[in-house]
Amino acid sequence: MTREVKLYLGALAGIAMGALLLGKAAENRRLLAERDQIRAQLEELRGSRPRLRAYVRQGNGQPQALEVRPQPASARPGGGEPFEITDEDGRLSRELTARQRKGEYIARFDDPVAYKRQKQAIAKGVQMLAASNRKNLAPVFARVGLSDQVSEQLQAHVSKINDAAMQAEAALMQLETARVDYDSRVQSLLSPADYVLYKQYEAAGPARQQFERLERFAWQEGRTMVGGERGSLVAIIREAEAYPKESYLGPYDGLPVVAVGKENVLRNAKHQLAEVDEGANRAVRLAAERGLSKRSIGLLRDYYARDIQKRSDEIQWIQDPKTEEGLRAGALKRAREGEEKLRGTFPAKSE
């Protein structure tokens, strides 16, 4: 019998004795209510899972032992979904700690304990903002003549936006933390001179990717490249910045840029077209100035001419009103087909 169970049983005995000794009905009712509450807590204690020793990585990357006990929903800050550490969570957390000690990088949300804590924190934040939204938005929507139902729907929509924004912030924090940690480790492993060389290699990544596309274009067109000029072409493409600047996948790149909605997508596509067009002109000019062969200059010019044409055609396609009509019609058709499939899978019951 654990210490907690003994304490609860002792409390039960004390309350029962108090109820016998005290004759006042009101006092008896209060004591009996307390007894029932303790019984309920005792049942929860008996039915709960054993305490689990989990390891949670802190901001400094060092593991810290953490005693975790399941809590009732009423005791959890902010309520929301239950925050429970399972045996599997503990096992994986310990495994990640061991792998981290051997040099493997463990991202923050690889740890299920940290992930669940973050999820609960976001849920609590959304709940807090929802109360503020109700206080601030409901009067505004009422003043402009919206019904209570529509007002509640819009407030729920804002809560979804709050939730998505907090999740995006958490993901970006994990991304930037991983990049900072990566750069710190690379610096610790390399000499200053080698670190500079490596950073130069990373900086040339977009140019190398563009050169690989140039190679594929040459292969598709049945054209050969001048072997001795490959390095020069990469250097020219990099110096001319003949590629879209929005690169975000690497350890030293920027953040993702998301375009949603026709106007935003168009603006982004036109911006990238301008970048490639200007960079292509500079690249062809540099290739001529540096004495590259006519074959390489012609290949460079033809590749970028096709790339620019494809981007221009895409912009025209987006701008065409028929495109939007077709997309809407296609979405409506797919929705109807999905509804028909559901009806076939779950036929309506006859009365």
> Which of the pair, 36 or 115, is modelled with greater confidence?
115
> Which of the pair, 231 or 32, is modelled with greater confidence?
231
Compute the average pLDDT of residues 316-332.
81
Compute the average pLDDT of residues 37-61.
40
Mind listing the pLDDT tens digit for each residue in 135-165?
899 999 999 999 999 999 999 999 999 999 9
* % the chain with pLDDT above 90: 38
Q: What is the pLDDT of residue 52?
A: 32
Compute the average pLDDT of residues 255-264.
83
Mind listing the pLDDT tens digit for each residue in 270-293?
999 999 999 999 999 999 999 999
What does pTM read for this prediction?
A: 0.63
The label of the residue with tokens 């005791």 reads: 75
Task: Give the best-scoring range by mean pLDDT among 2-6, 38-42, 303-307.
Answer: 303-307
Q: What is the pLDDT of residue 318?
A: 85
> Which of the pair, 252 or 260, is modelled with greater confidence?
252
> Which of the pair, 69 or 188, is modelled with greater confidence?
188
Q: What is the pLDDT of residue 331?
A: 77
Output the average pLDDT for the chain: 77
Pairing of strands 63-68, 52-57: antiparallel
Q: What is the pLDDT of residue 306?
A: 94
Q: Taking 90 as the threshold, does the pLDDT of residue 297 lie above it?
A: yes
Q: Taking 50 as the threshold, does the pLDDT of residue 72 lie above it?
A: no
